[in-house]
Amino acid sequence: MANDDFYIGANDEHGVNPPTIGKRTPIVPGLNRAIYENEFNRAAKNKFIEACLRNSFSVYDVKPEEQDISINERVRRINSQNLTLLVTFAYNAFGDGTTFNSISGLETFYSSLNPKASQSQTLATDLYNSLIQGTPQNGRGVKNLDIAVLSNVNCVSSLIESGFMTNLREARLMINPLYQTEVGEESCQGVCNYLNTTYIGRDNLSNYPLLRRGSRGNFVYLLQFLLTQYGYNIAVDGIFGANTENAVRQFQNNNSISVDGIVGSTTWKYLLTLPSYPTLRQGNRGSYVKFMQQLLESQLIPVGGIDGIFGSKTRQAVETFQSYNNLTVDGIVGPNTWAILTQIPQ
């Protein structure tokens, strides 16, 4: 079977706008706010979708809405699609949720009540084996859990709990874009292992074709999906038309790269924020600035808003980070600052 014969469902638990009540961390020091569970779940799901599109799978986003959607409605949507399999992204908690504690770890789940329980257990095992190879996590294993998105759906189904939001280190991972990407990518690797297909990696720019108006297919879906994550209001239909070209031009202009409406290696690199990372200073803007701001906040250093604009508050945050890490305090994000900033907290 070709990869596009497989129909992959992606689901994120809870909501972020407005957020699901109770599904949040304690107040995080430095940031002075709670992190809501769906801030991670939605981001990891989107990274999983990106990886699946790159690997030529057909993909169904169960919950594209930012707000919470009832379990019954999500199960109805899933069962209407004749999916090959479903992966759900979640984050765990322990205790009353008001204080941090030491309980930690990553685990995956399946349901013995699923009509394809044996296959679901195999998928959960393949996902777990891929995920546990990445950022060092306390491995909690593969477990049975009889909840609706596992037991009441008509396809192979697994759920991932990528950490504990009541553990401060793992709470920080929730808003780290590198960890979000890692979970999404490793989940796609697990799906590829389950389906016995070859996984195509993220960081090799030669895997991304040149796209222009008139192009069609999964990589156009991927391009459009990425652009929507940056706030461009375009249809994700796999057809590179005028609206997509205009969005590409706007993205290129906002990132100070050649504005031609053609998606080549430089535009892909900025869309995906791949290494090598450009030197950034006050006055810069674009995808790498937003990525850098997210990394700083995951280090518990507030930037005054993750907006992709390197202003004075972001410069102050960079200087604070540099001071904490015995770097030259100049407010410029060069190779030495990037090298430490892009280390996922252990």
Residue 92 CB neighbours (<10 A): 19
100 and 214 fall within a common domain: no
- Whether residues 74 and 164 fall in one domain: yes
pLDDT at 209: 97
Mean residue pLDDT across the chain: 97
In a domain, 280, yes or no: no
Q: Residues near 28 by Cβ (< 8 Å), separated by ≥ 6?
A: 34, 35, 168, 171, 172, 300
- Into how many domains does the chain fold? 3
**26 CA to centre of own chain:** 22
Give residue-wise pLDDT tens across range 37-88.
999 999 999 999 999 999 999 999 999 999 999 999 999 999 999 999 999 9
CATH code, domain carrying 177: 3.40.630.40
Please tell me whether residues 235 and 302 are part of one structural domain: no
CB within 8 A of 51, min separation 6: which ones? 184, 185, 187, 188, 202
Query: Which of 174, 195, 216 corresponds to the end of one domain?
Result: 195
Same domain, 191 and 216: no
Alpha helix segments (H runs only) across 55-199: 71-79, 117-131, 148-151, 168-174, 177-195
Question: Of the residues 217, 242, 272, which one is the last residue of a structural domain?
Answer: 272
Per-residue pLDDT tens over the stretch 243-281 = 999 999 999 999 999 999 999 999 999 999 999 999 999
Rounded average pLDDT over 115-132: 98
DSSP state, residue 330: S
Q: What is the pLDDT of residue 312?
A: 97
Residue 113 sits in the same domain as residue 147:
yes
Per-residue pLDDT band at 178 (split at 50, 70, 90): very high
Residue 301 lies in a domain: yes
Asked if residue 101 belongs to a domain, the reply is yes
The pLDDT score that the predictor gives to residue 134 is: 86
Return the amino acid letter for 68: D
Q: Please report whether residue 346 resides in a domain.
A: no
Tell me the CATH number at 244. 1.10.101.10
Type and span of the H or E element at 90? strand 85-92
Which pLDDT score, from 0 to 100, does residue 4 have? 77
Residues 180 and 47 in one domain: yes
- Domain region containing 219: 205-272
Contact call for residues 130 and 194 (beta carbons, < 8 A): no
End-of-domain residue from the set 195, 213, 235 = 195
205-224: average pLDDT? 97
Do 20 and 130 lie in one domain? The reply is yes
Which residues lie below 8 Å from residue 323, measured CB to CB, with a gap of 6+? 329
pLDDT band at 135 (very low <50, low <70, confident <90, very high): confident
Instruction: Please say if the pLDDT value at position 346 is more than 80.
Output: no
What's the pLDDT at 56? 96
Closest CA to 91 of 50, 39, 129: 39
pLDDT at 136: 87
Assigned domain for 311 exists: yes
Based on the fold, state whether residues 241 and 323 are members of the same structural domain.
Answer: no
